[in-house]
Amino acid sequence: MRGAGFFGFWLLLARPAGGESWADLAVGLLAAALATWTSLRLLAPGATRVRWGALLRLIARFLWQSIVAGLDVARRVLDPRLPIRPGFLAYPVRIPDGPRRAAFGALTSLMPGTLPVGGDPDGALVYHCLDLDQPIASSLARDEDLLVAAQGGAATGD
């Protein structure tokens, strides 16, 4: 599965024009195999099944929220009064520490008004927020629910 993805990425790089030799293809397969091996060693696959429906909803929400986030920042910056109320907020994240929580951090760093700055001793993620008056915690909770659902598991299971 990952191997096919990496071979696809190779094709993107190589841009086949139709005049390839077998050698080109063989090198591509070899490169994809190496990449897959590395990927499996660095990031062991968990026992998860991707739920496509939930994944599609997650992607849709991500795209929509990206637009909202960009517009939100642009509006605040262009407003002569500069309406921001920055501050920190600890969000008790349910996803256990590891690659998935990192993925959640990366995802939410692109969402409107939130930027993870690290964890705190209680296991929560600390966010820097552009405007504390926004309903940030509930928005984060929705992101988290969707991410967990897309990975086909309960929030605590791995």
Partner 1 sequence: MSLPAPVDLGLAALVLGLAGWVITTSATYRAAEGFVAYGLVLALVWVRLGSVDVALTEAALGSGLTGLLLLRAAARLPADDPAETTRPGPGVRVVAAVLCTAVAGALAAVVLLLPEPAPSLAPAVAANLSATGVGNPVTGVLLAFRAVDTLGESIVLVLALVGLWSLAPDDAWGGRPGFLRGPAAASPLRFLAQVLPPFGILVGIHLLWIGADHPGGKFQGATVLAAMWVLVLVAGLRQPPRVTSRPMRGLAVFGSLVFVGIGTAGAWLAGAFLAYPEGLAKPLILSIETALMLSVAVILGLLLAGPPEPDDAAGVRS
Partner 2 sequence: MSAVEISTVFTVFAVSLGSLFFLAGTLGLLRLPDTLTRLHALTKADNLGLGLIVLGLLPQVSSPLGWIGLIAVWLLALLAGATVGQLLAGALRPSDGTPPDRGGGSA
Measured from the CB atom, the residue of 12 and 47 that comes closer to partner 2 is 12
What's the min distance (Å) between Cβ of 137 and partner 2? 16
Give the span between the Cα atoms of 10 and 23, in whole angstroms: 14
Could you tell me where the beta strands, DSSP code E, fall in 92-157? 114-119, 125-129
Give the span between the Cα atoms of 156 and 96, in whole angstroms: 7
Query: What is the contact surface with partner 1 in residues (CB under 8 A)?
Result: 2, 6, 9-10, 13-14, 24, 27, 30-32, 34-36, 38-39, 42-43, 97, 99, 101-103, 105-106, 116, 118-119
Site for partner 2 in 107-126 (CB under 8 A): 107, 109-110, 112-113, 115-118, 120, 126
Burial class of residue 134 in the structure, from the number of CB atoms within 10 Å of its CB (0-12 exposed, 13-18 middle, 19+ buried): middle
Q: Which of the listed partners (partner 1, partner 2, none) does 32 bind, with a CB threshold of 5 to 8 Å by partner kind? A: partner 1
Instruction: Out of 25, 35, 128, 137, point to the residue binding partner 2 (CB under 8 A).
Output: 128
Determine the Cα angle at 50 with ends 46 and 55, to 5°: 130
- Window contacting partner 2 (CB under 8 A); options: 23-31, 46-54, 100-108, 146-154: 100-108
Report the amino acid identity of residue 119: G
Q: Is the dihedral of CA 130, 131, 132, 134 positive or negative?
A: negative
Q: Which of the listed partners (partner 2, partner 1, none) does 87 bind, with a CB threshold of 5 to 8 Å by partner kind? A: partner 2
Using CA atoms of 138, 142, 145, 146 in order, give the dihedral in degrees to the nearest 10.
Answer: -170
Give contact residues for partner 2 (rule: CB under 8 A): 8-9, 11-12, 15-16, 66-67, 69-74, 76-78, 81-88, 105-107, 109-110, 112-113, 115-118, 120, 126, 128, 130-131, 133
